[in-house]
Chains A and B, each alone.
Chain A
Amino acid sequence: MAVVSIKNKLRRGNLLVGNEAYIPPAFESIATVTVGSGGAASITFSNIPQTYQHLQIRSLHKGQSYGEITLNSGSWARRHYLYGDGSSASVGSDTANAMFASSSTYFYATICDLFDYTSTNKNRVYRVLNGGDNNGSGVIHLFSGLDTTTTATTSITITGTGGNNFQQYSHFALYGIKSA
């Protein structure tokens, strides 16, 4: 199909000739949730497009005391964690669901990566870098976890543990990362 260049008005037989090549972005915003004045017991990203390779959740949040991550409606098989609380570094593992830490008195930042979320022949693995500091208290965490299901992830729910709400101004953004 012939086109006219937006640069020099020349008529071309190729869409790209005379124009800058369009390079699709590899890191795209899928959805964002900002918690309002009433708080929110959970955050859900649903109908997640299956067109990316990996997902990343970036958040700044406040609310006691953990955010529990659920993929579809499943549960997690095992997680490992490493953290520093300002006086010592500790490690551990258990069969609890995937989580990141939070606080009711100050904001935590979280970067959560979920790899190969559309795969139907590999288990789900996540990793988290997460922490908050309040000028005299605070914790920095690394988490990783395994979900042994092989179902493509179409929804992610983040729930405040113990029935506690995420508080106003908490912000969760889901991004998709494309492969070549």
Chain B
Amino acid sequence: MPTTYEPIATTTLASAATSVTFSSIPGTYTDLVIVCQVAFVTAANEIRLRFNSDSNTNYSYTRFKGSSSSASSDRYSNENHIHIGSPGNDAVIGNSINQINNYSNTTTYKTVISRSNFINRELMATVGTWRSTSAITTIYIDNSGGQNITAGSTFTLYGIKAA
């Protein structure tokens, strides 16, 4: 039986960097999963995603968050990215797991659904939409403050193949 859930690419930062890119993503899977295990050199804002080098305002997202004392929800429209996690304090490791179902179809907008856990700040669930019917071939990950991501942070892209 063929492998159904397999790693496509992994990036482990040898030195601090401001972004990570997965390019030339094959269209042969059904879904993608991006697992980010990250820390930042200095206090960081939001980790964010973009697709296919599109930095126009074609993104939107809705999220809920839980911190030590409260839960809340917010929404952002006409953005140039999708937020997928809030690292908060520097050098504290956290993770963000992002699912993109039917990423290669060319008839629907692309939906990202994610969960992130950053212990010094909050846990969060996010759903985001990229208003494009293009197949996703490139994923760009950075943070809204432009801070460096700490060396040793890992980013793994998996592909899931349906029958």
Q: Residues of A at under 8 Å CB distance from B? A: 24-32, 58-60, 82-89, 91, 106-111, 129-136, 138-140, 142, 169, 171, 173, 175
Contact = CB atoms under 8 A, between A and B. Distances in A.
B4 A111 contact: no
Interface in B1-20: 1-5
Interface of B: 1-5, 30-31, 60-66, 71-75, 77-78, 99, 101-102, 105, 107-109, 111-113, 115, 125-129, 131, 160-163
A29 B71 CA distance: 36
A31 B62 contact: no
A26 to B, nearest CB: 8
B4 A89 contact: no
Contact of B73 (A26, A31, A85): A85
Contact of B163 (A29, A106, A111): A29
A129 B125 CA distance: 8
B101 A59 contact: yes
Contacts of A140: 62-64, 73, 113, 125-127
Nearest to B111: A109
A94 B143 CA distance: 39
A134 B111 contact: no
Given A86-B75, A107-B111, A109-B101, 13 more contacts: A25-B2, A25-B3, A25-B4, A27-B5, A58-B30, A82-B71, A88-B73, A132-B111, A135-B129, A138-B60, A138-B75, A171-B30, A171-B102
Of listed A85, A133, A171, residue having the most chain B CB within 10 A: A133
B5 A25 contact: yes
A134 B30 contact: no
Of listed A30, A109, A134, residue having the most chain B CB within 10 A: A109
Contacts of B105: 169, 171
Contacts of B107: 169
Contacts of A82: 64, 71
A58 B4 contact: no
A129 B63 CA distance: 12
A2 B73 CA distance: 64
A173 B161 CA distance: 9
A173 B162 contact: yes
Contacts of B162: 29, 32, 58, 173, 175
Contacts of A27: 4-5, 160
Given A28-B4, A136-B60, A89 B71 contact: yes
Given A25-B4, A140-B126, A173-B162, A60 B108 contact: yes
A84 B102 contact: no
Contacts of A136: 60, 75, 77
